[in-house]
Amino acid sequence: MLSSTLLQTLAVCLAGMLSAASASPCAAKSSDGCGKPLPAGQTRGGVASVNITSGSLERSFLVFVPPTYKPGHPTQVILSYHGGTKTALQQLQLDNLTSPEFNTQSMVVYPQGINDSWQGVPGVTINDVQFTADLLDHLQGQYCIDKQRIMATGKSDGAGFCNVLACDASLSTRIAAFAPVSGAYYVDTLPCAPETVAIPCQNGRADIPMLAFHGGNDSVIAYLGGERKNACLPTVPHWIEAWAAREHLDAANHTSPVAADTVVYQYSRPGEPSLVNLVYDSVNGHDWPSTLPNADNQNAGQAPTSFNATPMILDFFAKHPLTQLV
């Protein structure tokens, strides 16, 4: 039997659909694209390449439309940013977010960086924050998007760009949660003091959910940080502790096992679920963690991990919608 609260919500939603002027909770989280057919050439369960203009530049991204997509039902969107020197297609092939084993419900969007790189990497001057804002505007105008469930993940430089977005005053109010993998969190300062370097951040809201992954054997973006590309990489523990401090969480973390050689450091407030988390695999390298072979773990000296990051990311995103739309 439906609860009285749920019945009331359904009634308000129905009233909102019947009246365009109604400010119902359904309308509040729905985008302008609700009710529109899919763009020409796109199909449910398929991947399409899309071009838009951002800052006078032609930009592109891949969009995966989930097989369960309905034009009248607000759908979660996951932005997945490729690593440096990689492409949107390579990220799609890596993260398994379009695999029916893991995801049949969420739209997944793979932006393409100019010169295969992202804002936040030393020397990159392209405004990818604006590109992301323009991309979201495009998605919300063309598809039925749940504005409370826009998420971001990425690998390496793409993971570092997730941190740029989480620290942006505007985009941090549009993107609900973040899950960077093997992130390069550059700070533009030298000399480099990885354990104490000040990490600038202008996040526009409090309580930003963060689930990060990093390997202890990462030889590209070292877990203990250091100078790289004439900038400073903080140690990953220092970076995650800075996020916990920013969110006013307990300084001491709770450590839980995930799998062999892997733990998660969880930061929270007393009596509340963890908001900031770091999954640390002591033997993993610069990889997207997966129990199955992928483009990362087939490199020399690498192997599949004892856990799979993708379902953990999807579960984390499911638990952390935006609680208030700006």
pLDDT for the residue numbered 125:
97
Q: Is 152 helix (H, G, I), strand (E, B) or coil?
A: strand
Q: Give the CATH number, domain containing residue 85.
A: 3.40.50.1820
* Residue 158 forms part of a structural domain: yes
C-alpha–C-alpha distance, residues 301 and 299, integer Å: 6
* Residue 174 forms part of a structural domain: yes
* Residue 270 forms part of a structural domain: no
Q: Is 310 helix (H, G, I), strand (E, B) or coil?
A: helix
* Residue 192 forms part of a structural domain: yes
The residues near 153 (Cβ < 8 Å, ≥ 6 apart) are 78, 79, 80, 81, 95, 97, 159, 162, 178, 179, 180, 181, 313
- 5 pLDDT more than 80: no
pLDDT for the residue numbered 2:
40
Distance of CA 122 to the CA centre of its chain: 21
Mean pLDDT of the region 49-66: 97
CB burial of 147-183 (b: ≥16 within 10 Å; e: otherwise) equals bbbbbbbbbbbbbbbbbbbbbbeebbbbbbbbbbbbb
* Residue 2 forms part of a structural domain: no
The residues near 14 (Cβ < 8 Å, ≥ 6 apart) are none
- 278 pLDDT more than 60: yes
Residue 215 banded pLDDT, cuts 50, 70, 90: very high
Residue-wise pLDDT for 70-118, tens only, equals 999 999 999 999 999 999 999 999 999 999 999 999 999 999 999 999 9
Q: Confirm if 132 and 171 have CB atoms less than 8 A apart.
A: yes
pLDDT for the residue numbered 28:
66
- 266 pLDDT more than 50: yes
* Residue 228 forms part of a structural domain: yes
The residues near 231 (Cβ < 8 Å, ≥ 6 apart) are 122, 186, 187, 188, 189, 190, 192
The closest of 156, 250, 151, 162 to 203, measured between CA atoms, is: 162
Q: Is 154 helix (H, G, I), strand (E, B) or coil?
A: strand
pLDDT for the residue numbered 80:
98
Q: What percent of the chain has pLDDT over 70?
A: 91
Q: What percent of the chain has pLDDT over 90?
A: 86
- Domain holding 117, by residue range, is 26-251+283-319
Q: How many domains does the chain have?
A: 1
* Residue 131 forms part of a structural domain: yes
Mean pLDDT of the region 20-39: 71
The closest of 216, 183, 235, 218 to 282, measured between CA atoms, is: 216
pLDDT for the residue numbered 4:
40
Mean pLDDT of the region 130-136: 98
Identify the weakest region by mean pLDDT among 77-91, 157-171, 207-221, 295-309. 295-309
Identify the weakest region by mean pLDDT among 8-22, 124-138, 254-268. 8-22
pLDDT for the residue numbered 326:
63
Residue 294 banded pLDDT, cuts 50, 70, 90: very high
Name the burial class of residue 300, with classes exposed (0-12), middle (13-18) and buried (19+) by CB atoms within 10 angstroms of its CB.
exposed
In this prediction the pTM is: 0.91
* Residue 17 forms part of a structural domain: no
- 8 pLDDT more than 60: no
C-alpha–C-alpha distance, residues 296 and 303, integer Å: 8
